[in-house]
Structure 1
Amino acid sequence: MRFNRSLFALALMFAAGYVVGQFSRADLAAQGSGQKVFELRTYYTLPGKLPDLQTRFRNHTTKLFEAHGMTNIGYWVPQDEPAHSNTLIYVIAHESREAAKKNWAAFGADPEWQKVRDASEVNGKILEKAPESVYMDATDYSKIK
């Protein structure tokens, strides 16, 4: 069965609506009065490297995202093969599209991130190709804004 990114992205958005229950409305509102921009990112790893990527995210990346103004919404792996063994999909939020650009620039220049990335790739590169990114606006009927 071929992995269908569109259907998976739709499922993620339903899941993100569910996950928002973990955040209070006050928490989300306190992050800014403008409408947030959400970013759906998909990573494809080289064979056998998904555990290395997950370890990097679990132990370092999510904390560094927060330090650089990004809000972690959720992280998923597909249930079906072949994507299950090499795909990580997540949603983060930024204050705005311009903020996203600044957040990513600061994150990429962070010496701690560079050290973590290099250490995690000591036995070879993790990613098969550059991550895919889609910026999204919440609809007026979305529970998360």
Structure 2
Amino acid sequence: MIYELRTYWAAPGKAEALHNRFRTLTLGIFAKHGMQLVGFWVPDPITAETGDLVYIMAFEDRAAMTRGWEAFRADPDWIAGRAASEVNGVLTARVASVVLQPTDYSPLK
């Protein structure tokens, strides 16, 4: 199992719209493609360094991660929903992704 730590920096004034898109669109598309979400977090406090939203995904391996994201990005519901959510401007200023390998002593394997 590998984990992907994703951090999102919202575009100015777009944090709530970004959260709403995850609530109403993104989560369903993750489920549709069998993508396993571990959880979402909001940094406390939110700063320029921490980003506005952090989440972790779990995948069997890198190939599964690649397949999942390719299916997600090609999904017609995602394409249409993203476009609709960004009619007044993009919601993200920056996105960072880090793949994490569990240590031999990690409770998450």
Unaligned runs of 5+ in 1: 1-35
Residues 1:74 and 2:64 aligned together: no
Q: 1:144 to 1:81 in 2, by over 3 A?
A: closer
How many pairs does the alignment contain?
108
Higher relative strand content: 2
The structure that has the greater radius of gyration is 1
Counterpart in 2 of 1:40? 5
Give the TM-score of the pair, scaled to structure 2. 0.90
Q: 1:43 to 1:81 in 2, by over 3 A?
A: closer
Give the TM-score of the pair, scaled to structure 1. 0.69
Q: Please report how far the alpha carbon of residue 60 of structure 1 lies from its aligned counterpart in structure 2 after TM superposition.
A: 1.5
The CA deviation string for residues 73-112 of structure 1, in whole angstroms up to 9 with x for no partner, is: 01111111434xx611100111210111111111000000
Tell whether the 8 Å contact from 1:69 to 1:94 is kept in structure 2 after alignment.
no
Instruction: Please give the root-mean-square deviation of Cα atoms over the aligned residues, in Å.
Output: 1.6
Please tell me the residue identity of whatever aligns with 2:35.
M
Secondary structure of 1:66's match?
helix
Secondary structure of 1:105's match?
helix
CA distance in 1, matches of 2:34, 2:69: 9
Structure ranking higher on relative contact order (CA contacts 8 Å, 6+ apart): 2
Tell whether the 8 Å contact from 1:56 to 1:120 is kept in structure 2 after alignment.
yes
**Deviating runs (4+, > 2 A) in structure 1?**
none
Secondary structure of 1:128's match?
strand
CA distance in 2, matches of 1:71, 1:65: 7
Identity %: 46
Q: Please report how far the alpha carbon of residue 65 of structure 1 lies from its aligned counterpart in structure 2 after TM superposition.
A: 1.1
Residues 1:111 and 2:85 aligned together: no
Residues 1:52 and 2:17 aligned together: yes
